[in-house]
């Protein structure tokens, strides 16, 4: 299996907007449990989950895949967020815990629209230094690998990002970080946070929003006929009612995720003069 994972490169293409961050040492799991929004302590070795790092005010700084390779070894697959800044910020909270947080150099992260060879659902595969994760959902099979060769393919990279957005995985540019709660980004669809685990930054706000039912807005998917940028306000007639969070070119259209009121039908909306057509988010990416 190791030879298969390391040698099977086609049709794998590089995902240069993803990075690997490693947490290794006796306190790796305890540190991740204290810092991140999902329940790492309850995640068995050999499985992965979606997770998020929040500000003390409960705003999402980063959404990522957390793979628990062993009791003392955790890897984070981090899309979009500048990895050096993420690592530097995370290291400030290590104090006297026994772990190392590293950003491995020259580690290729790649994807393919193909069924994984060994990984399945939340169960990961790790052989020959190559990590394989099952990124599949309702939209079809996808495999993500860390540490395997890949080719550059801009068209496939755009399709991969579009598949993320179709499944409701928010891809956050700089200006959209620290703006939204996990509920507003609909991270419950990915099972990416916990309201039952112990304390973590932002936990009080997340739990209060959940138990008091105060979430009034959430992520929704749309197509626009032309170009729309993240941060663009979504309008209902003459009123701003939401904001575009993530975008990707989808042929001549723009596929986008926007945070809108839960009680809005999604009809009659526009962003930067572009009419928006609502599209249902796909399921199956939760782990």
3-state secondary structure of 24: strand
CA distance 139 to 166: 8
Chain centre to alpha carbon of residue 45: 20
Going residue by residue through the chain, which has 287 residues, state the pLDDT in tens, using 9 for 90 and above: 344 665 555 589 999 999 999 999 999 999 999 999 999 999 999 999 999 999 999 999 999 999 999 999 999 999 998 999 999 999 999 988 999 999 998 899 999 999 999 999 999 999 999 999 999 999 999 999 999 999 999 999 999 999 999 999 999 999 999 999 999 999 999 999 999 888 999 898 898 887 777 678 899 999 999 999 999 999 998 799 999 999 999 988 999 999 999 888 778 899 998 999 999 999 999 99
The model's pTM is 0.93
Domain boundaries, the chain: 2-166, 216-280
The class level of CATH for 216-280 reads: mainly beta
Q: What pLDDT, on the 0 to 100 scale, is given for residue 7?
A: 57
* CA 262 – CA 102 distance, rounded (Å): 40
Neighbours of 250 (CB within 10 A): 18
Rg (CA), the chain: 19
pLDDT at 3: 47
> What CATH number matches the domain at 2-166, 3.40.50.720, 3.30.1360.120, 3.40.50.300, 2.40.110.10?
3.30.1360.120
Largest Cα–Cα separation, the chain? 59
Q: Do domains 2-166 and 216-280 have the same CATH topology?
A: no
* Cα–Cα dist 82/242, whole Å: 26
Using an 8 Å Cβ cutoff, are 228 and 256 in contact?
yes
């Amino acid at each position: 299996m190791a030879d298969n994972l390391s040698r099977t490169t086609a049709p794998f293409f590089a995902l240069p907007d993803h990075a690997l961050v490693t947490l290794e040492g006796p306190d790796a799991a305890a540190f991740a449990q204290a810092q991140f929004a999902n329940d790492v302590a309850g995640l068995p070795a050999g499985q992965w989950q979606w997770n998020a790092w929040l500000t003390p005010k409960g705003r999402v700084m980063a959404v990522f895949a957390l793979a628990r390779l062993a009791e003392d070894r955790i890897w984070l697959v981090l899309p979009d967020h500048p990895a050096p800044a993420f690592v530097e910020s995370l290291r400030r909270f290590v104090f006297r815990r026994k772990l190392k947080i590293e950003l491995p150099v020259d580690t290729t992260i790649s994807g393919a629209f193909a069924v994984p060879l060994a990984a399945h659902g939340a169960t990961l595969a790790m052989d020959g230094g190559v990590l394989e994760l099952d990124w599949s959902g309702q939209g079809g099979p996808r495999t993500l690998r860390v540490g395997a060769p890949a080719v550059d393919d801009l068209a496939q990279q755009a399709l991969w990002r579009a598949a993320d957005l179709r499944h409701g995985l928010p891809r956050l540019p700089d200006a959209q970080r620290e703006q939204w709660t996990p509920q507003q980004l609909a991270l419950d669809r990915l099972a990416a946070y916990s309201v039952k685990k112990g304390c973590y930054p932002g936990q009080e706000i997340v739990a209060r929003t959940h138990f008091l039912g105060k979430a009034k807005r959430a992520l929704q998917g749309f197509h626009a006929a032309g170009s729309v940028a993240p941060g663009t306000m979504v309008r209902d007639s003459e009123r701003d009612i939401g904001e575009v969070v993530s975008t990707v070119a989808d042929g001549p259209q723009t596929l986008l995720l926007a945070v809108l009121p839960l009680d809005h039908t999604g009809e009659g909306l526009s962003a930067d003069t572009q009419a928006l057509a609502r599209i249902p988010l796909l399921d199956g990416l939760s782990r």
